[in-house]
Structure 1
Amino acid sequence: MELKIEHLSKRFKDKTAVDDVSLTLTSGVWGLLGANGAGKTTLMRMIADIMVPTNGAIYYDGQDIHEMGKAYRELFGFLPQDFGYSRDFTVKDYLEYMAALKDVPARETSRKINHLLDILTLSDVKRKKIAKLSGGMKRRVGIAQAMLNDPKILVMDEPTAGLDPGERVRFRNFISEFSHDRIVLISTHIVSDVEYIATRNAIMKDGKIVDVGTTDELVKQIEGKVWTCTIPARDLDKYEMRLRIINQRGEDNNQVSIRYLSDKSEIEGSITISPRLEDLYLWLFPQADLSKEGN
């Protein structure tokens, strides 16, 4: 199974959102990483066949997805950043409505809905109106609708936004198991959500795919550039002004342990440590705010 993206571009008047992207997605979980404005959402909307590319095409096992039409939509699941629903819908009503739109056989609808409600811990709120749910619960309803038709290709834009840490762990485990013999593409700024489950990651910058690889392959480019040391708390402001500090933790005796990115040691006593995917993200996107990313 493969989803082949060939020379895909999308232009809006004087802006090119996606610029000549070629990428072949195979079975497993794929992370799509990039800062705001990188073109991730536009790329996913074209993969979902709800936005027509300016140039290029996408092929599922050799067939143009646009020409496949309904056949492609039947094997596709999509969670956008914001999914639409009527304010009068309860969770159960909404999922039944979406199952009908996706042509899920009536005899299978209840079983599939109950299964997803159970996995996503929504059974207790299935009769509540979606509009009255918390942000995390609404996100879980969105995940459920994307998976109703047991898709062969599942694309999710910021699926864990609003989920608490425990819910994110359950989601990762569920997706890791679900991805066997399926293609799952996840765009997220919560890098830890894909770091340990992604088969491969694609990094997008300025509308282009700039790198593709496993987490271990990608982080090699910043080996020797991630440092840690302990400094007096009174000096933290001074170092924050000139260093790319990515983590800090208060210690005893008014000391602070910091983790920073640099080509060389900037503080006496610094030692290099193994890089993580989040370190690479912040190295490539130094202005990124991990609390606000997601487009």
Structure 2
Amino acid sequence: MKLEIKGLTKAYGKKQALKGLNITLTEGVYGFLGPNGAGKSTFMNILTGNLQATSGQILYDEEDIVKLGRNFRGILGYMPQQQALYPNFSATGFLSYVAALRDMKKSRAKERIPKVLSQVGLSDVAEEKICSFSGGMKQRLLIAQAVLDEPKILVLDEPTAGLDPKQRIAIRNLISEISAGKIVIIATHVVTDVESVANRILLIREGEMLADSTREELNASLSGHVWELQVPEEQLERVVGREDYLIGNISREGKILFVRVISDKEPDDYVFMSVRPGLEDVYLYYFKE
């Protein structure tokens, strides 16, 4: 199973949303990480058939997905960012509706719906109206509809948007559980969404791929660039104002602040120590935000 993106571009007038993406994906979980406006959603809308590319192509096992048409959509599961749900439907009713849209046989839908509701932990509210669901429950229902027909490719757009930390962890664990045997693409700007579940991290900015690597390799690439400074509180503004520092975390012990900075040069003031880079440091370094 292989998904190849070759020279993919998308233009909106003079604006280039995608600038010649080239990626090869096989079985595994991929984190598409980038700020809002980076091109993540544009790419996913092309992959799911909601947008037409300006140039380039996407191949699934050497065949163009545009030519595959309905056959490709049959192996694709998509969880949109927006919770476009019908509030007066029950969870079972909504999944039955999705099954009908996907032309699933009634016998298969009847078999699959209880299974996916169990997978996402919604069996006990299967007949309750969606309007009574919490944000986390709605996100789990969106995942349920995406995996209803056992897709080979699963696309998740900001799967934990608007959720509290406990719900985020639950959704990430669920993604890990359902990812076996699939190509899973998670598009997000939230580092923690992909840090623990993605096999590979793809960094995208302004329609261009900046990096395609493992988390460990990306972190290692910043070795010797991340520092913790001990800064008197009255001098914090001086440190924050330096153009050669990207500021990460700031913590306090009494009147001393511990400031995590990313810099291409070793600090030349204050007491400091080199610290191990993390994916949040990588994000700051590549996207400067």
The answer for the alignment partner of 2:208 in structure 1 is 208
Q: Distance in 2 between matches of 1:55 and 1:219?
A: 33
Structural mapping, 1:234-245, within 5 Å: 234-242=234-242, 243-245=245-247
Q: Tell me the matched-pair count.
A: 286
CA distance in 1, matches of 2:131, 2:62: 41
Aligned to 2:8, what secondary structure does the other structure show? strand
> SS of 2:162's equivalent?
coil
Q: Pairwise mapping of residues 17-32 of structure 1 onto structure 2 (< 5 A)?
A: 17-32=17-32
Residue 8 of structure 1: how far off its partner (Å): 0.9
Q: After superposition, what is the alpha-carbon deviation per residue over 1:63-116, rounded to whole angstroms, capped at 9, x for unaligned?
A: 111111111111100112114233432222111111221233323334433333
Q: 1:144 to 1:277 in 2, by over 3 A?
A: same
Q: Is the 8 A contact 1:136 1:161 kept in 2?
A: no
Q: CA deviation at 1:132?
A: 4.3
Counterpart contact for 1:5–1:22, Cα < 8 Å:
yes
Q: Work out whether 1:258 is the aligned partner of 2:259.
A: yes
Q: Does 1:247 align with 2:249?
A: yes
CA deviation map 1:21-68 (0-9, x unaligned):
111111100010111211110001111122111111111101111111
**Greater Cα shift, 51-60 or 112-121:** 112-121
CA contact (8 A) 1:2 1:61 kept: yes
Q: Pick from 271, 277, 281: which aligns with 1:269?
A: 271
Alignment of 1:128-207 (within 5 A): 128-207=128-207
| Identity fraction in percent | 41
Match in the other structure for 1:78: 78
- In 2, distance between residues paired with 1:182 and 1:145? 16
Q: TM-score, normalised by structure 1?
A: 0.89
What amino acid is aligned across from residue 32 of structure 2 in structure 1? L
User: How far off is 1:226 after superposition?
Assistant: 0.9
1:104–1:148 Cα contact (<8 Å) kept = no
Residue 165 of structure 1: CA displacement? 2.7
Moved more, 162-171 or 148-157: 162-171
The corresponding residue for 2:222 is: 222
**8 Å CA contact 2:230, 2:270 repeated in 1:** no
SS at 1:163 equivalent: coil
Letter in 2 for 1:206: E
Q: Is the Cα–Cα contact under 8 Å of residues 120 and 174 in structure 2 kept in the other structure?
A: no
Query: What SS does the corresponding residue of 2:257 show, helix, strand or coil?
Result: strand
Kindly state the Cα deviation for residue 130 of structure 1 after the two structures are TM-superposed: 2.6
What's 2:106 paired with?
106
What is the aligned partner in structure 2 of residue 13 from structure 1? 13
1:116 corresponds to: 116
Residue 255 of structure 2 aligns with an amino acid whose one-letter code is N
Structure 2 residues without counterparts, runs of 5 or longer = none
Instruction: Give the secondary-structure state (helix, strand or coil) at the position aligned to 1:98.
Output: helix
1:286 is matched with: 288
Call closer, same or farther: CA 1:175–1:85 in 2, change over 3 Å.
Answer: closer
Q: CA separation in 1, counterparts of 2:120 and 2:251?
A: 33
User: Counterpart of 1:37 in 2: which secondary structure?
Assistant: coil
Query: Over aligned residue pairs, what C-alpha RMSD do you find?
Result: 2.0
- Does the CA-based 8 Å contact 1:230-1:257 persist in structure 2? yes
TM-score, with normalisation over the residues of structure 2?
0.91
- Structure 2 Cα separation of the partners of residues 236 and 112 of structure 1: 57
CA distance in structure 1 between the partners assigned to 2:139 and 2:167 by the alignment: 11
Alignment partners' CA distance in 1, 2:233 and 2:90: 51
Offset at residue 202 of structure 1 (A): 1.3
